[in-house]
Amino acid sequence: MQAHELATPYPTVTMDTNALEAARLLTEHGRPGLIVVDEHQHPIAILPGSQVLRMLVPRYVQDDPALARVLDESHADRMCDALADRTVRDLLPKERVKLPVVAPDDTVLEIAAIMAANRSPLVAVVEERSKTAALSGAISAAQLLGRILPVS
């Protein structure tokens, strides 16, 4: 079994995707993050859902979450205004979350080793063994385990 047989579609954004659209994609797909691709569809980073939330929380509340108590419910309703004029570029953390990339002919054991070494719940699968190849899908740790586990 090789990576290209295991890869499944995964929601992507570019650096220029509107932040509100990225938030909607996260919600629709129920994933912990989105894959950020460049203009050639090559995967370059993960946008974690927690970073989108970060943009919604005022700086003084980020520094002291207890201060959230003093803000009323109406603030929560306006939280998403902060996203409308931003893009994914603004949401990405300074320290980028690495997304390991595997080639289409990588084996189950190679994929498992790469996920374990990177402590990543996800790997991106690209179309060919090249540093600029386009994304063809992704494999999660849970999916990979499902293929390895003996049938009970």
Q: Where are the beta strands (DSSP E) in 5-134?
A: 12-13, 33-37, 43-48, 101-102, 122-126
The residue to which tokens 């201060």 are assigned: 67
Q: Which amino acid is at 136?
A: S
Query: Cβ of residue 113: shortest distance to a second copy, in angstroms?
Result: 4
Smallest gap from residue 123 Cβ to a second copy (A): 10
* Site membership for a second copy, residue 130 (CB under 8 A): no
Site residues (CB under 8 A) for a second copy, limited to 40-69: 48-54, 56-57, 61-62, 65, 68-69
Task: Give the residue from 48, 61, 31, 26 showing the smallest Cα distance to 92.
Answer: 48
Q: CB–CB of 82/61 below 8 Å?
A: no
Contact between 122 and a second copy by CB under 8 A: the answer reads yes
Site of interaction with a second copy (CB under 8 A):
1, 20, 23-24, 26-27, 29-33, 48-54, 56-57, 61-62, 65, 68-69, 71, 73, 75-76, 79-80, 93, 107-110, 112-122, 140-146, 148-150, 152
